[in-house]
Structures are given as structure tokens and as C-alpha cells.
Homo-oligomer: A and B are copies of this chain.
Amino acid sequence: MTATPASTAPAPARPDTERAGLEAALRETVQRQLHPHLRHIAHYHLGWADAEGRPTGTRGGKLLRPTLALLSARAAGGTVADGLPAAVAIELVHNFSLLHDDIMDGDTTRRGRPTAWTVFGVPHTILAGDAMAAAATSALLDAPLPGARPAATRLTTATQRMISGQSADVAFERRDDVTLPECVRMAGDKTGALLGCACSLGAALVGAAPARVERLAAFGEHIGLAFQLVDDLLGIWGDPDRTGKQVGADLRVRKKSLPVVAALNAPGSDELRALYLRSAPLTEPEVRRVADLVERAGGRDWARTEADRRITAARECLDGAGIADAPREEFLELARFVVGRRF
């Protein structure tokens, strides 16, 4: 499952009018671009409608990535309206990946509801994902702004990296020799690339200088990695009340998460390897033993240190992007929301 912040609250700090404008733009693009059958699936998946197509009356998802995209447009001197095509595009790509990931992973629930493929079948859900990906590119290319072409290039490059990361993740499940650099790279591709794109796409669209765009992208990519590390730590030692996950949840499914891979590659990991890489399920005492072995092998410390390092690096990138204090503070607030701790 693609990682997202554990909180289901909307992204903070933005006025309701901005969120309303974002949802309206997203709906308009889906309406204009998608075939009615696929639109129905998109409405369901985005939380706007139930399986029969009736409006749910509830708000959609967190809209974290599009909020970052709008902020990056404003940070580069553009208006909210200028940034909307970037915001729509990034949210469509994110949701295209969720639709396909749920099929690939065989996941049956998302955001507390049955996943789209379980409701509409695999064929139409593959197509709905394909249609959202194409609509994302169109949204950018149709924008009447000189940065549309470089922005579309950034989005497509980030999409390709996200797909590469997902491919590596699927392949890791069957491998016993995943190295830590490989695993970091996978997380950077799968989670970091799209978050980096979200933080820079609006700026690229309004024609910001390439150096500023790159700094914003690097900021978002470091935040994405820090988020993944924190999420992986919570997946082993987290508070179930806060995360909605059982303690040890990731260990029970033998996820090759970052702290685990760090530990598997540390000296003296023979007992851990023997337990974690065998095919028989782990008993509950074994799950606790694995958590202990990962910690003893330094996996927990490594992940905490690496998360801190990424957060420091993100701050440095943001400071180097040369943006005004107000949008800088908003980026930091969103980063705190993503990483889930003081930033």
C-alpha cells in the first residue's frame, strides 16, 4: 500500500475557499476528461460518491499533495488560480497510483471503504487509473502558462520514478538480499519523487527559475523520505491508538521496511534473518522477538537518525529556495503535518 500520513484530517492551514476551489477544479477535470463509467469510479475512489454514484456529502481526501502544489505556485509569485492545474495533476497521479496499487497488492479496503477494484472489477479499475494518469498530463499541458511544458516533464519524470519504486517494492517481496541503499532508493522513488514533485510543480508551472524549482523538489523529496522512515518506525513500535495499526503490524506481514532492512544488513543478524526470511508465519512471541532483534541490530536508531538527517536536509533546501517568510512557514507547517512531529 502506498504510504500516506496516518492522520485522515485535511492538510492544515489553508482557508476553506482554497480547498473548495481545489475540489471544484478536480471535479471539473474529471468531468471533462473521463468517460462516464470511469468518472463513476473516480468519484467513488475520491470519496465524492458511493458505489451507486450517489453523492456522499462528505469531503474527499486530505488533498495534501495539491495543497503543496498550490503553495509552491504562490511561493514562486503565482496566484492560486495559476497553481490549480499543477494541484489537479498531482492529485490525479497520486490517485491513479492508488487505484493500480490496490489491484497489485490485492488490498480490499482503503480509507475505510472497499477498494475500487472490489466494487467495479479489475478491468474498469485499471482503465480508471489509466484515464486519471492521462487526465493529469492534459491538465498541465492545457494550462495557459509558459511553464506548462517543463511542468509536464517534471510530472512525467516523477511518475516514472514512482512506478520504478513500486516495481522495486514488489520485487523486494521475493528477495532475501535487499541492501539498505536499494531500499532507500526504492522509498525515494515510491514516496519521495511524487512529494518532491508536489512541492515544486506549481513553481515550475508559473515559470520559476530552475534552481528554485529544484530546491523545492529536494525539500519535498527529503520530507517524503522522513515521512516513510517515521511511518516504518510506527509500523513496528507505533501507538495503535494514534496510527490505527497494531504494534508490529509491518513485521507480521514481513514488510521489508527501512528499519528492518537496515537491521538485516547489520553484523550479527543471523537470528533475525532466520526468523524473518523463512516462509512460515511468525507467532506473536516471534513478532516481539523480531522487533527486539531489529532494535538491537541498530535498525531503530538508524531510522530515527536518518529521519532527523532528512528533516535537516529538507530545511536547508527550503532555506536555499529563496522564498518569502509566509510561504516558507506554510511549507514548514505542512512538513510537520506530513512527518508528524516537531520540525
Pair A138/B157 contact, Cβ less than 8 Å: yes
Pair A122/B104 contact, Cβ less than 8 Å: yes
Interface status of A315 (Cβ within 8 A of chain B): no
CA distance A123 to B135 in the complex (A): 22
Q: Closest chain B residue to A142 by CB distance?
A: B153
When distances are taken between beta carbons in the complex, the residues of chain B under 8 Å from A113 are: none
CA distance A104 to B153 in the complex (A): 29
When distances are taken between beta carbons in the complex, the residues of chain B under 8 Å from A156 are: 134, 137-138, 141
CA distance A71 to B226 in the complex (A): 49
Pair B137/A167 contact, Cβ less than 8 Å: no
Pair A126/B141 contact, Cβ less than 8 Å: no
Interface status of A326 (Cβ within 8 A of chain B): no
In chain A, residues 111-132, which have Cβ atoms closer than 8 Å to a Cβ of chain B?
Answer: 122-124, 126-127, 129-131
Pair A160/B134 contact, Cβ less than 8 Å: yes
CA distance A160 to B137 in the complex (A): 10
Interface status of A49 (Cβ within 8 A of chain B): no
Mind listing 7 A-B residue pairs with CB under 8 Å?
A35-B164, A38-B163, A104-B122, A127-B166, A129-B130, A130-B163, A131-B163
